Amino acid sequence: MKHVSIWLVMLALLGTHMAGMGAFLTVPVLATRISAETGLPASLAGVHTALVYAGALVSGPFTQGFLARFGGIRVCQVGLCVIAAGLGLAVIGTPWALLVSALLAGVGHGPITPAGSHLLYARTPPHRRSLIFGLKQTGVPAGAMLVAGLAPLAALAFGWRGGVLAMAVFSLVLALALQPLRAVLDADRSPQAPSAPLADAARSMALLRSQPQIRALAITSCGFGVAQFCFGSFFVVWQVQVLGLGLAQAGLHLALAQGAGVIGRILWALCADRFGARPVLLGLGAVIILAALALAAAGPGWPVWLVIAVGLLMGASAVAWNGVLLAEIARVAPAGQVGGATAAMGVVFGATMVVMPSLFTLLVGWTGSYVPGFVMCAMTALIGLLSLVAGPGRGAAPPLPRR
């Protein structure tokens, strides 16, 4: 295999992101079933998300060095195997096993997004960058759809452990499927390069200080990401506990919302390539705020169709901004530092996700209501929107020439 099409690379990375989402959503989607056996509150789904991101903070800063020595495909393969091992630990079912499971799955997930950006950037024409990155990132909501649809069904047939193991096996299958691409796509690696992991991590993190555009975009990613991951972590549990819906139906509604995210990532990427990233991200921020406030206002009296509609709106916005923003991070990154810039953004993002989903869980416990948590999502999205408005160069690329 002497040449690999950019579309094949994108398809492989899409599958990688699909499998990677198992690290985040498998346990939260099955939280009510796990709670029934273990006695742990289902609202601890937010703590699980925070622990996954805590694990990602361990591995993320070192990604640029890993990419230089081993290549993007190998980094993705190892990450997927570590995710599978983390999910496998969860089936033990004890609180400590669930804690270590989340941390280990997060360690596996930390390098995946930077590795994908590294593999794509040099192979993507600038006038199609947002589209290609957006298509690659559709693996995130597509993976969420897979988890939301498959895990509850497997749990109904084989118990919640069956749902967890199904996602672990999927990660291992994807890791194996990437192997034929390694010889070509990892040809730029330097196995004999000096190993200085701490120095590599420090150089990546220094980009947040030296590159104001990267810093502004990182803040935006955090503001929008709180809504994205709190929605993914709590939408099913909220429907079951507040609206009284069944687990399978609630999981289907999340799957539909993630499907809207898939469509949104492609549509907004096309718009960003045509009109520039900034107006697209500003519009998405406004919609995220409105959708989060709508969820805060929802209650048992709402008809199911309206709950689905708000979920679709949240999916098309809070789940759909990532490809546009990652393409913009790649555009403004210094030469040869796309993976490092993406990883630096991911560390800030991950640190935020350690705190905010846990805060959502605490708000539910303190107030007995999900309303303050959804209001919090709207407020953080507003902060992300304001970062775009105030950022240097207004934080966006000009429209690229059409070719």
Q: What are the Cα distances from residue 183, in Å, to 37, 72, 75, 169, 391?
A: 46, 11, 13, 24, 40
The answer to whether 257 and 319 have CB atoms below 8 angstroms apart is yes
How far apart CA 56 and CA 346 sit, in angstroms, is 8
- The 10s digit of each residue's pLDDT in 183-220 is 888 887 877 665 666 776 787 788 888 888 889 999 99
CB atoms inside a 10 Å sphere around CB 81: 17
Tally of CB atoms within 10 A around 2:
5
The model's pLDDT over 32-89, given as tens digits with 9 standing for 90+, comes to: 888 888 887 776 776 787 788 889 888 888 887 888 888 889 999 999 999 999 999 9
Stronger pLDDT, 396 or 361, i.e. the higher one: 361
Is the pLDDT at 119 greater than 90, yes or no? Answer: no
Q: State the Cα–Cα distance between residues 271 and 397, nearest whole angstrom.
A: 12
Task: Compute the average pLDDT of residues 239-266.
Answer: 87
Instruction: Supply the pTM of this predicted model.
Output: 0.73
CA-based nearest residue to 28, from 55, 50, 48: 48
pLDDT at 403 > cutoff 50: no
How far apart are the C-alpha atoms of 89 and 167, rounded to whole Å? 12
Query: With 60 as the cut, is the pLDDT of residue 398 above it?
Result: no
| 367: Cα within 13 Å, side-chain hemisphere | 12
